[in-house]
Structure 1
Amino acid sequence: MKSHGSRDKLQAAASSSHRRVLLLLFATCFALATFVTFVYNTSHFASASGSGAAADSSGGGASAGSGTGAVSALPLPVFDALVHFASISNATHRMSDTDIRAISAVLRARGPCNLLVFGLGAESPLWLALNHGGRTVFLEENEFYVKYLEPRHPGLEAYDVSYTTKVRDFRDLLDAARASRAAECRPIQNLLFSECRLAINDLPNDLYDVAWDIVLIDGPSGWNPTSPGRMPSIFTTAVLARTGATAAKGPTDVLVHDFQFELEQVLSKEFLCDENRVAGSGTPSLGHFVVRPDGRRDAFCSGQDSTAAGTSSEKSGK
């Protein structure tokens, strides 16, 4: 019995020693894993912070040619697939497939970039996706539509805008803008303090400091005389492209949808200028302009009289 008891004690001691070794080994592995995780997270956080700071310094989003290397464009096969399925969609009130492809071509050339879109529509999720890695901001006249879409499309950045203009008044508004082209409605100005009736000056302040690469004008509505029309969005875009951070970064691609209508054609000719229209680009219903800061402070286009109101020949829009 004594011999048997001693053997049990030896086995118990060996078992206890074995457990201590396993416990020590486990503690060592746990400490090593904790240390490796700490080192990785620290380096990853520092890298992310540096990338974020570089992105912030570029004006609130990635811009083509910014050189930060913080973002990458959407892979071309994915880009093409999104455009393909959007162009054959049967969604109501959508753009034509030719317009979708024309806009997408500009986004492919400039993206990822800072993209400003006037109007929310069936294509809004597409523009957000195609500009992957950039900043896309939507301005919409219907605040309820903004509240409806934002929860359904994570990452959508949209703001509601109140417009005071009416389509029926666009000739009078244009004459007034021509008459004050060297004053309130000049091409280079701080829109936040603008008194021009066509200027949009109630956006979030930081949006005026973003270097916009592309502006797509697809709103507000202009289907009837009491609709706000796109006079403010076209005028404001023309000023943005010539002022501040947007002008400093170089040319701005401006795309005007529903270009087949008189208002869009007349206002684009007045503020975006025929000389800036891109030949062979766009479609009959999409005007494509590249606006470069030219330093003119009292005229938007070459040959404009900065002091005279529109004549009857100008009013014809020809």
Structure 2
Amino acid sequence: MKSMGTRDKLAAASGHRRVLFVVFAFATFLTFLYTTSHFATAPGSASASGSAAASTTTTSGSAGGGGQAGSGSGSGSGLPLPVFEALVHFASISNATHRMSDTDIRAISAVLRARAPCNLLVFGLGAESPLWLALNHGGRTVFLEENEFYVKYLEPRHPGMEAYDVSYTTKVRDFRDLLSAARASRRKECRPVQNLLFSECRLAINDLPNDLYDVPWDVVLIDGPSGWNPNSPGRMPSIFTTAVLARSGATAAKGRPTDVLVHDFQFEVEQVLSREFLCDENRVAGSGTQSLGHFVIQGGGAGDAFCSGQEESGEKTRRRRRK
């Protein structure tokens, strides 16, 4: 998501809402047709379907770890496939200002189709935010946004949207110094497995609502904060925090990997920080686009390395310093 001013964001949101109104009206109609057709052609299976649905709901509730949390299995999506595809189709051909490309929208949607309903964490609010909320119907979707006014503007206009403003202290111009400091503290403050609430790493986001650190996130989309000029906060904190969340606490304990999607992957900060903390060996080949990096992170792990080879290189550096 390219950075934009508040006025541009509000104009984009206004235009996009008109498109989404048509999309959701069409989706509702499709859902009605699908449901009517389904029950008309299979009345004898209603009892069995109800039992199966109840079983799935019970399983999802226990796996999700919370009242709003989804199962993350992808097998119990609340949206029928025709409705899901209709939403993606209309979003991908919309002419909303500052929207993602249709290829990026479809690549992200493919991941959500496989995992939804799930626990979805999105850094950044944009033209596609209502789409991600809709595609994860039945799961929990949380947005983290740098602009407090934008959160207050959009949240009431989209029922069910859960968004929080985040204060970032980093600057793009300092990203290499911040990266060097994180590497030097990888065995201490900036280690890959830790409780972020008490982290003193300069790249860690530790002031979110406390319960968000206890959610087992299944998918994380990094599309914020802004990074368009040297004074922008940049996505260093969101990438680092995601890397730690995926390896720690409830996310690591859920027994399933975390899909991490990094938008604007063609830019230096996104590439360098993703290689450092999300790791090339975790990147999914052939998934995503030139401007979208897709990583799959397994939870847990020991040591002070995010990626293979980091522990060894760190030890060599310490030996040189001792000499």
Q: Indicate if the aligned counterparts of 2:239 and 2:277 stay in contact, CA closer than 8 A.
A: yes
Task: From the superposition, tell whether residues 310 and 255 of structure 1 become closer, same or farther in structure 2 (CA, over 3 Å).
Answer: farther
- Give the equivalent residue in structure 1 for 2:289: 283
Identity of aligned residues (%): 83
Q: Distance in 2 between matches of 1:232 and 1:154?
A: 28
Task: From the superposition, tell whether residues 245 and 309 of structure 1 become closer, same or farther in structure 2 (CA, over 3 Å).
Answer: same
Do residues 220 (structure 1) and 228 (structure 2) align?
no
Q: How does 1:1-318 map to 2 (within 5 A)?
A: 55=61, 58-60=64-66, 61-65=69-73, 72-249=77-254, 250-305=256-311, 308=314
Q: Following TM superposition, by how much is the alpha carbon of 1:66 offset from its aligned partner in structure 2, in angstroms?
A: 9.4
Write the letter of the residue equivalent to 2:278: L
User: Which 4+ stretches in 1 moved above 6 angstroms?
Assistant: 51-54
Q: Which moved more, 1:241-250 or 1:210-219?
A: 241-250
Q: Which runs of 5+ in 2 are unaligned?
A: 1-53, 318-323
Q: Distance in 2 between matches of 1:283 and 1:259?
A: 9
Helix, strand or coil at the partner of 1:178: helix
Q: Following TM superposition, by how much is the alpha carbon of 1:64 offset from its aligned partner in structure 2, in angstroms?
A: 2.0
Q: Following TM superposition, by how much is the alpha carbon of 1:306 offset from its aligned partner in structure 2, in angstroms?
A: 7.0
Q: Indicate if the aligned counterparts of 1:175 and 1:310 stay in contact, CA closer than 8 A.
A: no
Q: Following TM superposition, by how much is the alpha carbon of 1:309 offset from its aligned partner in structure 2, in angstroms?
A: 10
- Give CA-to-partner distance per residue, 1:252-302, whole Å, 9 cap, x none: 000000000000000000000000000010100000000012513301000
Q: Following TM superposition, by how much is the alpha carbon of 1:55 offset from its aligned partner in structure 2, in angstroms?
A: 3.0
Helix, strand or coil at the partner of 1:241: helix
Task: From the superposition, tell whether residues 186 and 306 of structure 1 become closer, same or farther in structure 2 (CA, over 3 Å).
Answer: farther
- Give CA-to-partner distance per residue, 1:184-239, whole Å, 9 cap, x none: 00000000000000000000000000000000000000000000000000000000
Write the letter of the residue equivalent to 2:71: S
Write the letter of the residue equivalent to 1:65: S
- Give the equivalent residue in structure 2 for 1:13: none
Q: Distance in 1 between matches of 2:73 and 2:120?
A: 14
Q: Indicate if the aligned counterparts of 2:74 and 2:118 stay in contact, CA closer than 8 A.
A: no
Q: Indicate if the aligned counterparts of 1:176 and 1:309 stay in contact, CA closer than 8 A.
A: no
Task: From the superposition, tell whether residues 303 and 157 of structure 1 become closer, same or farther in structure 2 (CA, over 3 Å).
Answer: same
Q: Which moved more, 1:54-63 or 1:151-160?
A: 54-63
Q: Distance in 1 between matches of 2:139 and 2:194?
A: 26
Q: Distance in 2 between matches of 1:104 and 1:97?
A: 10
Q: Following TM superposition, by how much is the alpha carbon of 1:63 offset from its aligned partner in structure 2, in angstroms?
A: 1.9
Q: Following TM superposition, by how much is the alpha carbon of 1:54 offset from its aligned partner in structure 2, in angstroms?
A: 6.9
Helix, strand or coil at the partner of 2:143: strand
Q: Distance in 2 between matches of 1:270 and 1:244?
A: 21
Task: From the superposition, tell whether residues 306 and 186 of structure 1 become closer, same or farther in structure 2 (CA, over 3 Å).
Answer: farther
Q: Distance in 1 between matches of 2:199 and 2:262?
A: 23
Q: Following TM superposition, by how much is the alpha carbon of 1:82 offset from its aligned partner in structure 2, in angstroms?
A: 0.4
Higher Cα Rg, which structure: 1
- Give the equivalent residue in structure 1 for 2:47: none
Task: From the superposition, tell whether residues 126 and 141 of structure 1 become closer, same or farther in structure 2 (CA, over 3 Å).
Answer: same
Q: Distance in 2 between matches of 1:283 and 1:310?
A: 36
Write the letter of the residue equivalent to 1:303: G
